Amino acid sequence: MRAPPSPGPRASCGSPGRPSRRGGAVFVSEEEWQLDGLSDPGRRDRLLHPPSSEEVLGRLVEECRLAACVGTISFCWEPARDNKGLSRSWAVIPVSLPLFDQFFHGRSGYRAQYYLGVENGIAFNRGAVDALIPILQSRCPGSDWTRHERSLRGPDSKLWMHDDWALLVRGAPPVLCAPRWVRYWQDQSDDPSGLAVPLPKKPAVDLKGTWILPGTGEVWLPETKKDRHQKVALSGWT
């Protein structure tokens, strides 16, 4: 699968997207958040005309709170597969399909903030993580919470689509023609993951904390993930 033709003139791949404003909220402009290849007009309208980033985050918090009340959040420790003894906090939060779509694929959502600039993305990710931490505390026994909180408040904590590779294996086509991301994927041999807008049958958000070292309890950042924020901004994917 190859990336579609570039929709505009070449510019620096590291340059931020052009923002548009509605009230005090910042969105990627409709000219850059191109979804002409999305065949569902209702869904295209949902992604091009979403609530503000603050409203989308507020809805995520409300749905997380509801999931905590009914006990549908999965919350555990994830051991590292290739570093013995490392582990991190991991929550899987079920959400509604419209929220999942707008949160990850809308022009005010998570990936859109990275398109606007690395610092925008980092701030949005951190704000989302911090907003969910108090809700997760209600799902954790007191004796375990100190360790979970250290992981969640660590510098490498992030949100992302639950089971993202499985979503792409199901054949999500490259329909998000954001110019900088299109240019990035034209130079890659891999399928253009960052141009996909996959939707799962059971939408959920992953919140993964920072890795914790055994014994000391200190946070640890793997070298391979230190450029995650830059990669999302450059390519639309991680």
Structure confidence at residue 1 as a pLDDT band (50, 70, 90): very low
pLDDT tens-place string over residues 54-97: 999 999 999 999 999 999 999 999 998 877 789 999 999 999 99
Structure confidence at residue 217 as a pLDDT band (50, 70, 90): confident
Closest CA to 237 of 173, 141, 161, 131: 161
pLDDT at residue 115 greater than cutoff 80: yes
Contacts of 97 (CB under 8 A, 6+ apart): 199, 203
Total Cβ atoms within 10 A of residue 177: 22
Q: Distance (Å, rounded) from C-alpha 5 to C-alpha 3? A: 7
**What pLDDT does 133 receive?**
97
Q: Are 1 and 191 in contact (CB under 8 A)?
A: yes
pLDDT at residue 224 greater than cutoff 90: no
pLDDT tens-place string over residues 163-183: 998 888 777 899 999 999 999
**What pLDDT does 210 receive?**
95
**What pLDDT does 11 receive?**
33
- Window from 105-114, 127-136, 166-175 with minimum mean pLDDT: 166-175
